[in-house]
C-alpha cells in the first residue's frame, strides 16, 4: 500500500480496500457484503442514472487522542438519509443497519483511518441509488446501498483558513417546496459549472439566495451559512430549501454551551453587512470563515455590485476559531463529549 502523507490530505475520491454493500429487493435487504472490486454492474436503463434517483450522506470517523475510534453523530445521518429516500420513494436502511455498515466500512479500511494528530479523518460516503431499469416516472422498490470511504484532510487545502464567496445573480440552487432540503445527488449537478466559473475568479464558495425572491440567504453550495452578530449571537438561515446540516446543528449546540444566543430564522441579504464573522459549516468543510462575500449579477462577468467584508485585520475571527476548536476537539476526543455525539466503535 502506498504511504499516505496524512498532513497533506485534501478531500478526494480514494481507492481504499473495501466498499460495504447491501441490495434491497423483493421487500427486504440482502445480507451485508464486503466488496473489494470497486465497481458496480448496472443496467444502462437504471433509474439512478437517467432520473437521478440517487442520494447520499457524508460523515466522518476519527482516531481519537486515547486511541479509540469514533464516528460523529451517525444516527443523524441515518435519519436524514431516510428522509431523503422517502422524498424520492426509495427504501432506506434502518438506523442500525446504516450505523453497522458505517462501522464495517471503518473496520475494513483501518489502514486508511488517519492516526491522531494530523487533523485528518476517514470520510464516510454512504450512497443509496435505484438500480432498476425503468422508463416510467414512478418509484420501484429496489435499491443499492453502498458505504465507501476516503481519508480526508482539509476541503480547501488548509484548516480554518478564510475563503472568499460569491453570490451569483444568475444561478439558483433550489426551488421553494423543491429538493433543496434533501441530500439528493441531483442538487449538486447544478453547482458544477457555477463552481468552475467561481473558482477561476478566485472564489472558493458560492452563496445561494432563496430562489423565490432572492431577498434571503439560503446556503453555500457545499455547506450551511452562519453569521456572528455582536460577538455573542449565532445566526443561521431558516429556509425550506436548505439542507439540515448536522455540523450546523452541532455548532448551534456548541454556541449555546458557550452562553451565546442562537437565532435560526430567515436572514435578509442586507443583514450580511451586520455580521462581524460569517462562514460555511458542514462535514467536509468543518468551518470555512469567509473573508468577504461579493454579489455579482452575472457570474461570468466582472461586475461586482456589492461586497460584504469580514475579518478587517486579516485574521480568522474569534468566534469561528472558538467554535472550530470546540467541534474538532470533541471529534478528536480532546474535549469531553458531554452531549454523547461520538459513537465509539
SS3 of the chain: helix, strand, coil, percent, to 5 = 25, 30, 45
CB of 317 to ligand PLP, least distance (A): 20
Partner whose footprint covers residue 205, from ligand PLP, ligand COI, none (CB < 5 to 8 Å by kind): none
Q: Which of 16, 108, 179, 222 touches ligand COI by CB under 6 A?
A: 222
Q: Which of 58, 114, 153, 280 touches ligand COI by CB under 6 A?
A: 58
Looking at residues 40 to 69 of the shown chain, list those that interact with ligand PLP (rule: CB under 6 A). 58
Task: Judge whether 145 and 22 are in contact, CB under 8 Å.
Answer: yes
Indicate the residue among 142 and 205 with the shorter CB distance to ligand COI. 205
CB of 69 to ligand PLP, least distance (A): 19
Length of the chain: 345
Indicate the residue among 203 and 260 with the shorter CB distance to ligand COI. 203
Task: Judge whether 51 and 186 are in contact, CB under 8 Å.
Answer: no
Indicate the residue among 172 and 219 with the shorter CB distance to ligand PLP. 219
Classified as helix, coil or strand, 84 is helix
102 lines the binding site for ligand COI (CB under 6 A): no
Kindly report the CA angle at 98 between 93 and 100, in degrees rounded to 5? 130
Partner whose footprint covers residue 210, from ligand COI, ligand PLP, none (CB < 5 to 8 Å by kind): none
Binding mask of the shown chain, residues 259 to 298, with x at each position contacting ligand PLP by CB under 6 A? -----------------------xx---------------
205 lines the binding site for ligand PLP (CB under 6 A): no
**Stretch touching ligand PLP by CB under 6 A, among 23-31, 100-108, 222-230, 286-294:** 222-230
- CA–CA dist 335, 337 (Å, integer): 6
CB of 139 to ligand COI, least distance (A): 24
Q: In angstroms, what CA-CA distances link 81 with 43, 184, 224?
A: 24, 9, 17
For 296-321, letters b (16+ CB in 10 Å) and e give beebeeeeeeeebebbeeeebbebbe
- CA–CA dist 242, 210 (Å, integer): 9
Partner whose footprint covers residue 343, from ligand PLP, ligand COI, none (CB < 5 to 8 Å by kind): none
247 lines the binding site for ligand PLP (CB under 6 A): yes
**Stretch touching ligand PLP by CB under 6 A, among 102-110, 124-132, 198-206, 243-251:** 243-251
- CA–CA dist 272, 277 (Å, integer): 9
H or E element, residue 60: strand 59-63
Indicate the residue among 284 and 323 with the shorter CB distance to ligand COI. 284
245 lines the binding site for ligand PLP (CB under 6 A): yes
Q: What is the CB neighbour count within 10 angstroms for residue 138?
A: 7
Q: What is the CB neighbour count within 10 angstroms for residue 13?
A: 8
Q: Which of 223, 241, 288, 291 touches ligand PLP by CB under 6 A?
A: 223
Looking at residues 148 to 167 of the shown chain, list those that interact with ligand COI (rule: CB under 6 A). none
Give the single-character DSSP code of 79. Answer: H
Cell triple for 197: 466559473
For 210-237, letters b (16+ CB in 10 Å) and e give bbeeeebbbbbbbbbbbbbbeeeebbbb
Binding mask of the shown chain, residues 175 to 214, with x at each position contacting ligand COI by CB under 6 A? -------------x--------------------------
Interface residues with ligand PLP (CB under 6 A) are 58, 219, 222-224, 243, 245-248, 282-283
Q: Which residues bind ligand COI (CB under 6 A)?
A: 58, 188, 222, 282-284
Amino acid at each position: 500500500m502506498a504511504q499516505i502523507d496524512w498532513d497533506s490530505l485534501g478531500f478526494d475520491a480514494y481507492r481504499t480496500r473495501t466498499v460495504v454493500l447491501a441490495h434491497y429487493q423483493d421487500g427486504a435487504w440482502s445480507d451485508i457484503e464486503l466488496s473489494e472490486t470497486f465497481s458496480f454492474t448496472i443496467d444502462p436503463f437504471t433509474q439512478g442514472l437517467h432520473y437521478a434517483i440517487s442520494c447520499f450522506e457524508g460523515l466522518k470517523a476519527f482516531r481519537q487522542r486515547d486511541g479509540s475510534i469514533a464516528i460523529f453523530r451517525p444516527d443523524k445521518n441515518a435519519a436524514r438519509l431516510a428522509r431523503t429516500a422517502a422524498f424520492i420513494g426509495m427504501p432506506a436502511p434502518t438506523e442500525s443497519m446504516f450505523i453497522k455498515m458505517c462501522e464495517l466500512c471503518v473496520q475494513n479500511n483501518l489502514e486508511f483511518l488517519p492516526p491522531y494528530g494530523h487533523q485528518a479523518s476517514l470520510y464516510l460516503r454512504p450512497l443509496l441509488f435505484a438500480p432498476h431499469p425503468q422508463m416510467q416516472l414512478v418509484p420501484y422498490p429496489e435499491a443499492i446501498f453502498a458505504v465507501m470511504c476516503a481519508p480526508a484532510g482539509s476541503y480547501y487545502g488548509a484548516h480554518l483558513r478564510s475563503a472568499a464567496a460569491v453570490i451569483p445573480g444568475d444561478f439558483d440552487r433550489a426551488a421553494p417546496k423543491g429538493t433543496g432540503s434533501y441530500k439528493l445527488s441531483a442538487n449538486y449537478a447544478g453547482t458544477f459549472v457555477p463552481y468552475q466559473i467561481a473558482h477561476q475568479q478566485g472564489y472558493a464558495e458560492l452563496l445561494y439566495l432563496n430562489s423565490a425572491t432572492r431577498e434571503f440567504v439560503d446556503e453555500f453550495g457545499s455547506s450551511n451559512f452562519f453569521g456572528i452578530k455582536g460577538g455573542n449571537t449565532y445566526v443561521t438561515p431558516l429556509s425550506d430549501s436548505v439542507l439540515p446540516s448536522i455540523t450546523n446543528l452541532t455548532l448551534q449546540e456548541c454556541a449555546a454551551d458557550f452562553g451565546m444566543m442562537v437565532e435560526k430564522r430567515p436572514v435578509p441579504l442586507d443583514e450580511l453587512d451586520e455580521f462581524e464573522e460569517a462562514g460555511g459549516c458542514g462535514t467536509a468543510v468543518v468551518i470555512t470563515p469567509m473573508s468577504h462575500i461579493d454579489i455579482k449579477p452575472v457570474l461570468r462577468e466582472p461586475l461586482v455590485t456589492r461586497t460584504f467584508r469580514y475579518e478587517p485585520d486579516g485574521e480568522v475571527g474569534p468566534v469561528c476559531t472558538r467554535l472550530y476548536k470546540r467541534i474538532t476537539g470533541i471529534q478528536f476526543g480532546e474535549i469531553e463529549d458531554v452531549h454523547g455525539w461520538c459513537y465509539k466503535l
